[in-house]
Amino acid sequence: MLLEVDGLCVNYGHIEAIRDISFEVEEGSVATLIGANGAGKSTTLKTISGLRKVRAGKVLFEGKDITTLAPYERVLLGISQSPEGRGIFPGMTVRENLDIGGYVRKDRKSAAFREDFERVFTLFPRLLERVDQVAGTMSGGEQQMLAIGRALMARPRLILLDEPSMGLAPKLIQQIFSIISEINQQGTTVLLVEQNAAQALKRADTAHILETGEIVRSGTGAELAGDDSVKAAYLGGDL
Q: Average model confidence (pLDDT) for the chain?
A: 94
Structural domains of the chain, ranges and CATH numbers in brackets:
1-28+37-78+193-239 (3.40.50.300)
154 residue type, one letter: A
- CA 74, 51, 54, 44 dihedral sign is negative
Tell me which residue of 45, 50, 44 sits closest to 67, measured CA to CA.
Answer: 50
90 residue type, one letter: P
List phi, psi (to 5°) of 113: -65, -40
Contact 225, 239 (CB under 8 A): yes
Over pLDDT 70: what percentage of the chain? 98
pLDDT tens for 83-102 read 988 899 999 999 999 999 99
How many residues belong to the chain?
A: 239
Longest dimension (CA), the chain: 53
Strands 30-34 and 189-193 turn out to be: parallel
pLDDT tens for 198-217 read 999 999 999 999 999 999 99
Q: How far apart are CA 72 and CA 49, in angstroms?
A: 9
Answer whether 0.75 is exceeded by the pTM: yes
pLDDT tens for 98-157 read 999 999 888 888 999 999 999 999 999 999 999 999 999 999 999 999 999 999 999 999
Q: Kindly state the helix (H) or strand (E) to which residue 45 belongs, with its residue range.
A: helix 41-49
